[in-house]
Structure 1
């Protein structure tokens, strides 16, 4: 919505055309029931600005993470178009594995699209000194394919570590074995994956968390590894800053 300036004593005219105002960022959500604690992308209280959500029906974590989101592109396009129709000026998603839909979604909606936290990897790499590289912590290293990396602009030799062997995080989020989650165990799973990453790859100089459910544990990863940590929260905060630049007096 814009407000046109008029004469000093004249009316101010509000310009419409959308259904919802004041929330320029739309988030495409997977269909899931696990807890979304503060810091999780799907918890609206995580964001210091309003956002619009749309659940993509049929897009379970299992189908997206373990089965390559096969057959789900039309569902994501329809949901993204609905968010734009409501008033979203940019679109993101709550699963880093949706990088495979980056080009198609951006083409379909005609607004800026950032499908995956993995898109930060080239930016972070550019900041590191020679001899250092970015490492990725993901919910599922076994199914994070070359296509996921390529479509996010990530070098294919980027080291990756997953949470599949943990006790809680993967089981709750992907296997959907229960609705409740032990937060301490989930945090330890993510931290353990990060420790495994840096032990196997001493050249890692920064970490990008693929999974949008990992930001609650980013501080613990930073504290344990001593490395800079980037996640969907850091990326979307940057993304939103371009949509609504701060106004300085």
Structure 2
């Protein structure tokens, strides 16, 4: 049997472009490697702080993300994703530059989830910052106009600690912020039949949101797990 090389690292199909941050990444967080049931590649994009990417719109960072993405592909990644839903802004440019499948944002699931739901029900989005989530972010992820949006902004812990890049995180307060925001979303939008978590740092609380609302919850974890199965199909 002959095999062909060409990669530096084998066995990890997904490459993850990471923001440069210091806040705690607990199990379930995309940036905690123990969250994944399969190996992944990581590459930190220097200068891409949570505040700069989310609140400022990632000015001047496109080239840095392209360079980091190319490095991941050169190392062996077969597909690229990112650890911030707001990077949907770069979806067209990264897809064109990297020449492998690219999924920048959990928001890209919204249109698919809508097709899964019964008539009269739609997916709602839960975001870390509704004030920063623009129509352009949504359009580049092909999120339908009028999609209900909920947010953890104004909560006690989650948005402040993550976007402020704080060294400590009160996990229980962050969990409650996510539950409260999800409940508020469905209370104000009874047409919501499922929730898509924009923020990759919300994944540790997806099960709690599901328990509190009774609704299906989709996240970057569900998206990347699906992505992985396309990049590295299981052999039977």
The RMSD of aligned alpha carbons is 0.7
CA distance in 2, matches of 1:30, 1:239: 20
State the Cα deviation string for residues 70-116 of structure 1 (Å, max 9, x = none): 11100100000000011111000000000010010010010000000
Q: Which runs of 5 or more structure 1 residues have no equivalent in the other structure?
A: 6-12
State the Cα deviation string for residues 17-39 of structure 1 (Å, max 9, x = none): 11111111100000000000000
Alpha-carbon distance, 1:246 to partner: 1.4
The TM-score with structure 2 as length reference comes to: 0.99
Alpha-carbon distance, 1:52 to partner: 0.3
CA distance in 2, matches of 1:156, 1:67: 23
Q: Within the alignment, does 1:111 sit opposite 2:100 as a pair?
A: yes
Alpha-carbon distance, 1:223 to partner: 0.4
Partner of 2:200: 212
Residue from 12, 15, 18 that aligns with 1:29: 18
1:81 partner SS:
helix
State the Cα deviation string for residues 164-211 of structure 1 (Å, max 9, x = none): 1011111110022x3011100000111111011001101100000000
Partner of 1:14: 3
Matched residue pairs, number?
Answer: 236
Q: Within the alignment, does 1:230 sit opposite 2:181 as a pair?
A: no
Partner of 1:141: 130
1:161 partner SS:
strand
CA distance in 2, matches of 1:241, 1:37: 24
CA distance in 2, matches of 1:112, 1:14: 23
Larger C-alpha radius of gyration, 1 or 2?
A: 1
Q: Within the alignment, does 1:221 sit opposite 2:209 as a pair?
A: yes
Residue from 119, 124, 135 that aligns with 1:130: 119
CA distance in 1, matches of 2:11, 2:120: 44
Partner of 1:8: none
CA distance in 1, matches of 2:161, 2:113: 30
